[in-house]
Amino acid sequence: MQAELIDIRNHLIQHAPFYDMPEELVNQLTASIEISYVRAGTQITETGQISTRMYYVRSGAVEIFRRSGELYNRIGEGGIFGQFGLLMRGQVRFPARALEDSLLYRIPAETFHHLFENDENFADFVEIEDRSRLRSAVSRREKSNTLMTSRVSRLISRKTVSAPTTVRLQEAARIMTDNGVSALLLMGGEGDSERLTGIITDRDLRTRAVTEALPSETPISEIMTEGLITIRASSYIFEAMLTMLHNNVHHLPVMDGHEVRGVIALADIVRYESQSSLYLVSNIFHQQHVRGLKKISLGVRDSFVRMVNEDANSHMIGSAMAGIGRSFTQRLLELGEEELGPPPVPYCFMAMGSMARDEQLVVTDQDNAMILDNSFVPEEHDEYFLALAKFVSDGLAECGYTYCTGDIMATNPKWRQPLKVWRGYFTDWIENPKAESLLNSNIFFDLDGIFGRTEFAEELKTLITEKASNSQLFLTLMARNALNRTPPLGFFRTFVLEEDGKHQKTFNLKRRGTAPLSDLIRIHALACGSRAQNSLERLKSIGETKLILEDDLSNLRDALEFISIVRIRHQALTLEAGGEPDNNVRPEDLSPFERSHLKDAFQVVSNAQKFLRFRYTSQATRHV
Amino acid sequence: MSETPFMLDDAKRLPWPEQYEALANSAKAPVLKAFYEAGCASPDTPVSEVPMVALDFETTGLEADEHSIVSIGLVPFTLDAIQLSHARHWVVRPKLPLHQMSVTFHGITHADIYNAPDLSEILEEVFASLNGRIPVVHFRHIERPFLNVALQYRLDEGIRFPVVDTMAIEAHLHPDRQPSFLKRLVGEKPLSIRLADSRTRYGLPHYAAHNALIDAIATAELLQAQIQHHFSPQTPIGDLWL
């Protein structure tokens, strides 16, 4: 390449897939380019033509069509087209027409194949279409994290130690000591019908047996934990981690069908997961005061950054952060009850929004509520619950979970009500929906009981599941609200930036990305009668009803993962630089790869919104 | 511009293809002989069928008789495609003392110039790209006269060829580019037909670097745009060259 062509090379390397290309290859590429100017309206390639080159748009814009004549894509500065025909060493697959006066760099087939054979990134990039390109970006990332590629079975190092449920306390303790294990599996039944029925751990021996001074002859079945949470041997390690986080357990029996393969302990995972969000959680439960919790909360952000640096995916990070938030809340409720005495009537403490969805990040406020038992009498009991709510809410604020600006907190009397009132709320929202009130109550449709009588929350979920799928008007209005926030993609697949206020020249990855996605997933899930709260699990339920085809579902999953992870990485980088994280990203802070994939992901959101609009607003005109 | 002394005034009035034939016979220097023998497209050839070469010189000044060539950039092209694989750039040692170089040259250091070859050493390479092609320049009063003087000096004979001048095309397209007295009073500026400004009118990108090669490429792109907007692929080359 002539050194004087550097201007041309420099333009190429600002764009995927030339960004990371070895210098020698980019130089060869530059030297092989043919430049061609085309006027707006010029047919650049026609279906059936022999493909002899790939095109790079240096300036202007080009439209790509399907054979049916339908617009397939619009490509602006820095974009490429014509690669598919070349790959098949055949005919033009998608005809192209100049939308604006454009300057095109033509890359001859010979160069294309040379790049294809010598640069894996380039090959990956051109080989796959936008959507699948997004998928491979997501999976490439995940492959580098062992938690996501290694199976639980790999962690089973020691032999399984078990005993029949009939053993006595002292005998059980001796077996554990002799074998050097911290957990003992307890088997009920005999012979072929032998089944895992319980577990006893070191901690159980301390807290249940020793502190209660139980006689050594106590049957172990009286103090063992039943209704075990287990994990399949084929699960990935990160799933085991999430299970531990979500349920606050430190031992998981590993099952192969009904057969016990072993037990994995917290410590086994911590070896893989050095950022120790699990340690953080177990530490939370050891704190006796709010000030201790506050001290621990300072480590939450470090834990977040470490997970990002270890290439955890957004599901892991979101679940870990939600698990941590849930643990703070649970511990605060325990401390609150210690201070205020036992509750006068049963209650359930609920989390709403991102914590309920297991999609929490570091920048988050508290969204919570209380469901009280129907025997609740305000004059007699509310003083207690207000005090408890305030204790938790203030404690959470101390720990970095800021007060909810929309006042969706248990301290608000409206959201501290007996179950029957809550049933009335949801019935009204669903059966007499109004667009405006739904905007405010949207957040209640992501709910999770996290403390106390969680079955109250389950009852509300059941009510929602039964009613929502039958109320077309409710779904229609929810859909209309969900369409208010659109992805920041302009006509030419350029980013549309915020023009107002202090976030000029940025776009908001939450408001314009993950939020519209989780909104539309929620609506489909409600329509399908799903009880799931997590967006990925909701997608799974949606898939089971075939409302959305598997291909489109994977696109949604990938888009959600990609936008989330860019948002997460942006926050982690800000934290590492000592800044205050937010959701506003400047396009120039993204790598060309991120920019390109993000556009693909936003396109998926945009298409999904079109489907939502088609499905609901067209029906609205019929029914309303 | 000093003309070749061996040429009859009559021959100068011949159409370019015939003139090339006559010059092929009279030229002494092998490079020039070969250049003319490669021929010149007939004036009625559609521009889309004419091989062209965009040419740009950086010089120590504007007068061919006083100043020297510092660098040469060229790129062969057609209306359809500009071939970067054949793009060339040379720095050459100017004949004139360096203290005369009041102009700064982008990316060319004095050391480059001291180590550069004399134009005579690279003539064959340069002509390999010129032969059989119609030169295209932006502002015709530089490349043709400078090359003519440089060859006169080194080979003792000059050179003649037609050029397509993208600046002249812009001038032709915008005859009223000087605003009237009244419009100048209200601040209207004359329309610029400089290379970068002309390119902007066709939506062509801005090039950050300036060197003879990038300017040659920029000129080739501009001609492609001009023809597609204001002429046609069938326009005879004879209507465009000067």
* Distance of residue B88 Cα from the nearest chain A Cα, in angstroms: 7
CATH among 3.30.420.10, 3.90.650.10, 3.40.50.300, 3.40.50.620 for B9-236: 3.30.420.10
Strand bridging mode A416-418 / A368-372: parallel
Whether A165 and A119 share a structural domain = no
Q: Does A31 touch chain B (CB under 8 A)?
A: yes
Residue of A nearest to B87 (CA): A2
Q: pLDDT digit string (tens) for B119-172?
A: 999 999 999 999 999 999 999 999 999 999 999 999 999 999 999 999 999 999
Whether A163 and A63 share a structural domain = no
Whether A119 and A171 share a structural domain = no
* Distance of residue B242 Cα from the nearest chain A Cα, in angstroms: 23
What's the domain range around A159?
151-270
Percent of chain A with pLDDT over 90: 37
Domain end, chosen from A270, A289, A319, is at A270
| Per-residue pLDDT at B167 | 95
Is the CB of A103 less than 8 angstroms away from the CB of B204?
yes
Which of these ranges, A498-507, B65-74, B167-176, has the smallest mean pLDDT? A498-507
Longest dimension (CA), chain B: 59
pLDDT band at A272; cut points 50, 70, 90 = low
Q: pLDDT digit string (tens) for A275-323?
A: 466 677 777 877 889 999 998 888 888 888 888 877 788 888 898 889 8
Which of these ranges, A131-140, A331-340, A388-397, B104-113, has the smallest mean pLDDT? A131-140
How many other β-carbons are positioned within 10 Å of the β-carbon of residue A398?
Answer: 15
Sequence-distant (≥ 6) Cβ neighbours of residue A227 within 8 angstroms: none
Sequence-distant (≥ 6) Cβ neighbours of residue B165 within 8 angstroms: B136, B137, B138, B139, B140, B242
Q: Does A500 touch chain B (CB under 8 A)?
A: no
Whether A581 and A467 share a structural domain = yes
Q: Mean pLDDT, to the nearest integer, of B214-222?
A: 96
Computed over every residue of chain B, the mean pLDDT equals 87
Query: Would you say residue B176 has pLDDT above 60?
Result: yes
pLDDT band at A416; cut points 50, 70, 90 = very high
Q: pLDDT digit string (tens) for A419-455?
A: 999 999 999 999 999 888 888 888 999 999 998 888 8
- Angle subtended at Cα A501 by Cα A499 and Cα A507, rounded to the nearest 5 degrees: 50
Q: pLDDT digit string (tens) for A595-609?
A: 888 888 898 999 899
Strand bridging mode A251-256 / A259-265: antiparallel
Q: Please indicate, yes or no, if residue A492 is contained in any of the structural domains.
A: yes
Whether A23 and A76 share a structural domain = yes
Q: Please indicate, yes or no, if residue A347 is contained in any of the structural domains.
A: no
Is the CB of B88 less than 8 angstroms away from the CB of A2?
yes
- Angle subtended at Cα B174 by Cα A77 and Cα B168, rounded to the nearest 5 degrees: 85
| Per-residue pLDDT at A146 | 63
| Per-residue pLDDT at A622 | 42
Residue type present at position A614: F
A185: closest CA among A194, A153, A154, A233? Answer: A194
Q: How many angstroms separate the CA atoms of A200 and A439, rounded? A: 47
**Residue A34, domain CATH:** 2.60.120.10
Query: Would you say residue A516 has pLDDT above 60?
Result: yes
Query: Would you say residue A30 has pLDDT above 60?
Result: yes
3-state class (DSSP) for residue B27: coil
Q: Please indicate, yes or no, if residue A237 is contained in any of the structural domains.
A: yes
Whether A474 and A591 share a structural domain = yes
Sequence-distant (≥ 6) Cβ neighbours of residue A249 within 8 angstroms: A229, A243
Q: Does A33 touch chain B (CB under 8 A)?
A: yes
Which residues numbered 239-258 in A keep a CB inside 8 Å of some CB on B? none
Q: Which helix (H) or strand (E) holds A81?
A: strand A80-81
How many helices (H) and strands (E) in chain A? 24, 20
Q: pLDDT digit string (tens) for A550-563?
A: 888 888 999 999 99
Cβ atoms of A30 and A4 within 8 Å: the answer is no
| Per-residue pLDDT at B224 | 97
Q: Please indicate, yes or no, if residue A181 is contained in any of the structural domains.
A: yes
Torsion of CA A349, A354, A356, A358, to 10 degrees: -130
Percent of chain A with pLDDT over 70: 91
| Per-residue pLDDT at A137 | 62
Query: Would you say residue A384 has pLDDT above 80?
Result: yes
Query: Would you say residue A250 has pLDDT above 50?
Result: yes
Cβ atoms of A60 and A103 within 8 Å: the answer is yes
The residue that leads in pLDDT, B179 or B230, is B230
Domain end, chosen from A216, A247, A270, is at A270
The residue that leads in pLDDT, B20 or A548, is B20
> Hey, CA dihedral for B25, B29, B30, B36, is it positive or negative?
negative
pLDDT band at B53; cut points 50, 70, 90 = very high
Whether A171 and A109 share a structural domain = no
Our count of domains for chain A comes to 3
Q: How many angstroms separate the CA atoms of A96 and A65, rounded? A: 6
| Per-residue pLDDT at A344 | 96
pLDDT band at A503; cut points 50, 70, 90 = low
Q: Please indicate, yes or no, if residue A400 is contained in any of the structural domains.
A: no
Whether A76 and A181 share a structural domain = no
Quick one: tokens of B151?
Answer: 């060859």
User: What ipTM was assigned to the predicted interfaces of this complex?
Assistant: 0.89
| Per-residue pLDDT at A536 | 92
Q: Mean pLDDT, to the nearest integer, of A235-258?
A: 80
pLDDT band at A130; cut points 50, 70, 90 = low
Sequence-distant (≥ 6) Cβ neighbours of residue B158 within 8 angstroms: B2, B3, B4, B148, B149, B151, B152
Q: Please indicate, yes or no, if residue A373 is contained in any of the structural domains.
A: no
Whether A155 and A106 share a structural domain = no
Q: Mean pLDDT, to the nearest integer, of B72-92?
A: 95
Q: At what angle do helices A277-284 and A237-247 cross, to 10 degrees?
A: 10
Is the CB of B212 less than 8 angstroms away from the CB of A4?
yes
Q: Which helix (H) or strand (E) holds A184?
A: strand A183-188
| Per-residue pLDDT at A38 | 95
> Hey, CA dihedral for A460, A462, A464, A466, is it positive or negative?
negative
Set of chain A residues whose Cβ sits within 8 Å of the Cβ of B225: 37, 101
B58: closest CA among B105, B94, B24? Answer: B105
Maximum average pLDDT range among A91-100, A148-157, A329-338 = A329-338
Query: Would you say residue A477 has pLDDT above 60?
Result: yes
Write down the residue that tokens 């990039």 correspond to: A125
Whether A594 and A474 share a structural domain = yes
Q: Please indicate, yes or no, if residue A162 is contained in any of the structural domains.
A: yes
Domain end, chosen from A253, A270, A287, is at A270
Whether A122 and A157 share a structural domain = no
Please name every residue paired with A448 in a beta bridge, in sequence order, or none if there are none: A351
Compare CB distances from B207 to A7, A100, A101 and report the shortest one's residue: A7
Q: pLDDT digit string (tens) for A450-464?
A: 988 888 999 999 999
Q: Please indicate, yes or no, if residue A402 is contained in any of the structural domains.
A: no
B120: closest CA among B32, B33, B57? Answer: B32
| Per-residue pLDDT at A392 | 96
Set of chain B residues whose Cβ sits within 8 Å of the Cβ of A37: 202, 204, 221, 224-225, 228
**Residue A205, domain CATH:** 3.10.580.10
Instruction: Examine residue A17 and say whether the peptide bond preceding it is cis (omega within 30 degrees of 0).
Output: yes
Instruction: Give the start-to-end residue ranges of the domains of chain B.
Output: 9-236
Query: Would you say residue A126 has pLDDT above 90?
Result: no
Cβ atoms of A197 and A165 within 8 Å: the answer is yes
Q: Quick one: B231 exposed, middle or buried, by C-beta within 10 A (0-12, 13-18, 19+)?
A: middle
DSSP track, A444-475 = GGSEEEEEE-HHHHHHHHHHHHHHHTT-HHHH
Q: Is A41 left (phi over 0), alpha (psi -120 to 50) or beta?
A: left
* Distance of residue A30 Cα from the nearest chain B Cα, in angstroms: 7
Which of these ranges, A10-19, A146-155, B40-49, B227-236, has the smallest mean pLDDT? A146-155
A407: closest CA among A445, A359, A369, A364? Answer: A369
Cβ atoms of B2 and B148 within 8 Å: the answer is yes
Q: Does A40 touch chain B (CB under 8 A)?
A: no
Is the CB of A5 less than 8 angstroms away from the CB of B214?
yes
DSSP track, A228-294 = ---EETTSBHHHHHHHHHHHT-SEEEEEETTEEEEEEEHHHHHTT-TT-HHHHHHHHTT--SHHHHH
Q: Mean pLDDT, to the nearest integer, of B76-88?
A: 96
Q: Is B161 left (phi over 0), alpha (psi -120 to 50) or beta?
A: beta
Q: Is B105 left (phi over 0), alpha (psi -120 to 50) or beta?
A: beta
